[in-house]
Chains A and B, each alone.
Chain A
Amino acid sequence: MNRKLGLRRSVGRLWHHFFFHKMTEPSDPAPTAPVSTPASSAPGQAQPATENSPQTLPIRDSKPTQPTGDAPASTDGAADKPLSPAELKKKAKADKAARRIREKLEREGGTTGSTTPTPSVGAQARPPSTPKKDATGTGSAQKGPRAPPPRRGSGPVAQTGSVLVEQKKKKDDKKVSVFGHLYGQQRRVTVAGATKEVHHAILALGMQLMDYTICGSSARCVATLIAFKRLIESYTTPMGTSLARHLTTHLSSQITYLSTCRPLSISQGNAIRALKLFIAGIDPSTPEASAKISLCEYIDSFIREKITVADQVIADSAAQKIQDGDVIVTFAGSSIVKQTLLLAYNRGKRFRVSIIDSRPLFEGKSLARDLAKSGLDVQYSLVHSITHAIKDATKVFLGAHAMTSNGGLYSRVGTALVAMSAKERASGVEIPVIVCCETIKFTDRVALDSIVVNEIADANELLPMDTPVSLVVPNPDAHVPPTPENKKGGNRTPAPEPLVTPHKTSSSPLADWHNTPNLQLLNIMYDVTPAEYVDMVITEMGSLPPSAVPIVHRMVTNL
């Protein structure tokens, strides 16, 4: 029910998204252009003003106007002195200057040309070239006054190869080397560049996944399945192929799109695998209409069995573990834990809940809100106070993103700290750590640490933000080099467009971290809690020790 609500809300969010990007694209040059055009069309002698104006956008504008901008300047000078030879001389000079400028521009386009000291050569020739120079030079020169560098803006406008190379190098510098293997591809931030086969429901879903509107392993899984259902409903098999064969490849392209928005969760992967298996099993002789109906039915029953009912079963058995007077600690916001706690409360159990939350997603906030509104006694704190929250706890309930085959709990980063604290309290009494997890989240992968398998989110999310809504603001920063999948779509120019950096406080010392050498921000999404910290995994198939995960996983997948 909540999930549906969330979906509806998120569709609205998507519209906001479209709107947002649509608006920012054309509107951004508009305000900046007037700022800089006066500067650049001002008499040629007034370069100092333009020199450090970081506007890079209007280069295209200013270049055509530039010669004319110079010409009026010279004619003005001529108007004062009506001597025609002098006028001619001036004109020749201006022409020469203009030519020099053009040459310079070309030269810069060809080579790296980010050497800052050169401009002293042609003082007259400065105005048009300086903005460009800034565009390329932002990397080395740290611009004090304007915190968010205009680098991104310069990308699409002045698509010089050198800029891209430099940005790429810088980007690499910002990658934490230990996690190098996880940076793979930049997350997509707009729908632009998606192939036309991608269904609109999938497009929408991708955006919602990307900005965490749909967040949480099971929510993502359900949303994906629902989107696939809509895709299948509107699907017609092209001539010459069979549904079973074509639909699978068709799905694959959708899945590729989804995975560029955010790496697929284990649950999504499992659901997709099951769906593909089912599609492959469809008898080619069945008519398309009935095949589609059976597919939709399969998806519905899959959602019902694996998630909706499974959640009810889990909540039911987990709620039985809660007793009056308990102090339950939970980390971040898990839907199944919420369901469990609410169920226990509605059954008349009276207990206290202590929610530990973490940056940057603050998922616990909505959990705290929902629980508190239902009347539960809720305490809210952040990761730094784990020890204090765990001190008088009696049970720890955790949600899961996945359970690995070696019994590890793969969940929101910070979970391991909570589980560890529960097991190693100062008083020496261990608190039971109970994980609620549907079997759809079981995987046959194994993980010893949180580094080999993980997901890297955009580091800009870590910048302190003032706006309370900023959580859902996508991070338009991390998309500079058009990623491989981007180049397929012809219109790559608008892809890295949204140059909306000001969502972070300019006062933050980190605002300029992209240009600060050697400084890296790391925002990983998950960590692996070792099996020894988990006492019990409650699944729809019963309560198990973590060591039973591979067995159950085999049972489930072999069905």
Chain B
Amino acid sequence: MSRQYSAFALARHALQPDLAWERAWASPDPKPSYDVVIIGGGGHGLATAYYLAKNHGVRNVAVIERNYIGSGNVGRNTTLIRSNYMIGGNTAFFEHSMKLWEGLSHDLNFNCMVSQRGQIVLAVNPVQLDTFARRGNVMRLNGIDAELLDRGEVMKLLPYLDYSKEARWPVYGAIMQPRAGTVRHDAVAWGYARAASNLGVDIIENCEVTGFVMDGTKVTGVETSRGRINCGKAGIAVAGHTSHVAKMAGLRLPVESHILQAFVTEPIKPIVHHVVSWGAELFYLSQSDKGGLVFGGHIDGFNTYTQRGQFPRIQTVAECAVSLMPFVSRLRLLRHWGGIQDMTPDGSPFISRTPLKNLYLNGGWCYQGFKATPASGWTYAHTIANDDEHELNRCFSLDRFEKGRELDEFGIGNWTYKQ
């Protein structure tokens, strides 16, 4: 059991150098049986376990992770949080997530460095600004903060953009969500793990699920690299590998696995004070508290389970960075890495029951898994505990394509042969 973190605790340890800190989360061996087994010790899986214990009193829970916790996308993303969604269903879900973010450090007693520094999305022409305005209006009408900025207002906030005649696409205006921002991504995994562990959840690392134990169409357990674990219910939360795990239960899903790359420069003193996104091409950038500029773009564009990006995509993203912010040219790239993300036909996720009894699915997060983490865990816990979707995640059902109920937030259409 990990004791309360505070400035006083830090001072106590500073004065007593030999006083050891407790483990942040316990590391037990798996028990033969649990009420609920969550497959995947990423942000969503750990959050689900935490809310199962906290909101639903379900504490006989194991989170099973094949590697170390947080080894997947929760530690590979660009750390952005926002709730600028306009399609019915998405709006309420992501705003719920934002509200949970706002109280998360307190709730978990773990500083996740929730930094609401504001996100500015730049429009390149009046037509694009109209589509942004629609988004902003919906946000306002749902009690979410949004502001429309003209070019002059953007120049004041972001003086370092290219406003010259050379700019290929001029800055025409922008929409801003002041409450959007960044969160220290690893801290989210660790904070949820510690809090869940304190509530009695078993967090089991280095344990890979290799199959499901079935009784007809009912799931009764999982086979793992550390033996069989029986369970009342099993929840999949392995975005990136969703198809791979679901296939063990015989499910075929509307999901492909794609690589999304992310980038960070060397650390510099504060210069970019917001999250900046661009409407010319998918590109987003912020500066971490450590000082590095963190940025990303599109997926590479073909399915892969390798975490290695292709160089042409790196060039595309660097071109965006330097064209939008010419000072970035002289900074240097320190690292780039890739995460494997589930892509779904409509760009929206699943938090849903499945055709199999006692098996639940959380996945298909596309570009937006990180910002969804708290609400995803919160609603997935509800779905697992009650064997029913919560009002907030009913739209993320697995059967929505059969019903023609796509959630196409960005209006790019379902894809077949295209990216």
* Pairing of A with B: no
Using CB atoms and an 8 Å cutoff, list the residues of chain B in contact with chain A: none
